[in-house]
Amino acid sequence: MIMIVRLVLAAVILGAVAGCAGGGGSTTSQQTNPPPQTTPPQALPVLALTAVTSGLAVPTAITHAGDGSGRLFVVEQGGTIRIVNSGGALLRTPFLDISGRLVSGGERGLLGIAFPPGFSTKKYFYVDYTRAADGATVVSRFSVSANPDVADTTSEQVLLVVSQPFANHKGGQLAFGPEGMLYVGLGDGGSGGDPMGNGQNTATLLGKLLRLDVEAGVAPYRIPSDNPFTASATAKPEIWALGLRNPWRFSFDRQTGDLYIADVGQDAWEEIDFQSAGAAGGANYGWNLLEGPACYSPATGCVPPPAYSAPVASYGHDVGCAVIGGYVYRGPGNLNMQGLYFYGDFCSGRVWALRKVGNAWQSDLLQQTGLAISSFGEDEAGRLYVADYTTGTIYRVDEQ
């Protein structure tokens, strides 16, 4: 199975508790202005899942190229990327096939893809996979061939190689931020409990969110000058955030630029982390001192690290076993989905909506889908999709 198979399924949500702000005005006879109006709470959507395509093999990511083509690109763990065209047809020939270059299975394989801003003229893209020779994480760039639906497999330019000590916790997400930098999610390197202490060690890239300027024309990439550890003599300058165990899908709100990270837990908790747009780097999400909202090592009395950023939502393993990060919905229609961050769980198939109500975060269970959710995705217009890892089916998510 994918990254984080556990044995726990369940029944009750332990979501974040919300507060709601109200308002009122004077009710005396001297009142000359109407009282402030409160905004009625947004109704939660009832979801409808529509199958878009099927026949995929263990999908791990869904995205678009931002080129106006209407295509969806679906990553298959075994080393191929497939295209669903604007008419909903799954093209027979893979967009990319590098299955011979990687090791797949468990939590390894082809795990991420990202198209740069301006892809329609640049004609290249980025992938994240685990290398066949030694299981190392590789981030590389490929160009598209003369056929826009087929990449040139001979064009690979390797940008980053990260050695991996164990076979699990690879992360693998790639995404361009609103400022044009490439963000790379890396797990803590595996085993259980982070035995090497990678999550809190800034001398390694493992257990981190990286931020790279891959579009600057500098090989293999440029370190952004505002990365938080550029002045350190010991920390890796690529690091943007730390304290992550296995970030399985992060995304930027296309309207606000806010960052959401789903970090898969160890024994007890799954969590959603958040960074507001424009915030400085260096946030520490706590692993392995903390798991979700609770101490992990030590089990009690832990001291949160400097720059600690607590999760905005979490749930226990009586509800699910592996959080799958999604997106803030900004697509057409679906009025009650607007502005909600959708995320799910691999084992239980549950889907939640996260929103900020007043000064508090509120997470609501929307549906138990029955799917083995491995990834969410969005198309160029902002419509939301979800992948079923077991059946290889991609669904569009709407409200009824």
Coil, strand or helix at 378: strand
Nearest C-alpha neighbor of 160 from the set 178, 183, 143, 194: 183
Are 273 and 260 in contact by the 8 Å Cβ rule? The answer is: yes
Are 8 and 318 in contact by the 8 Å Cβ rule? The answer is: yes
Angle formed at CA 189 by CA 184 and CA 194, multiple of 5 degrees: 120
Cis peptide before 288 (omega within 30 of 0): yes
What integer pLDDT is reported at residue 41 of this predicted model? 66
Coil, strand or helix at 282: coil
Q: What is the mean pLDDT of the chain?
A: 91
What integer pLDDT is reported at residue 170 of this predicted model? 98
Is pLDDT of 32 > 70? no
Q: Give me the percent of the chain exceeding a pLDDT of 90.
A: 90
Is pLDDT of 225 > 50? yes
What is the pLDDT averaged over residues 142-158?
Answer: 98
Is pLDDT of 40 > 80? no
Which residue bears the tokens 């690979």? 156
What integer pLDDT is reported at residue 351 of this predicted model? 98
**73-109 pLDDT per residue, tens:** 999 999 999 999 999 999 999 999 999 999 999 999 9
| Domains and their CATH numbers in the chain | 47-399 (2.120.10.30)
**pLDDT band for position 166 (cuts 50, 70, 90):** very high
**pLDDT band for position 42 (cuts 50, 70, 90):** confident
- pTM here is 0.90
What is the pLDDT averaged over residues 267-281?
Answer: 97
What integer pLDDT is reported at residue 14 of this predicted model? 28
CA–CA distances in Å: residue 283 to residues 198, 207, 210, 239, 242: 15, 12, 12, 10, 6
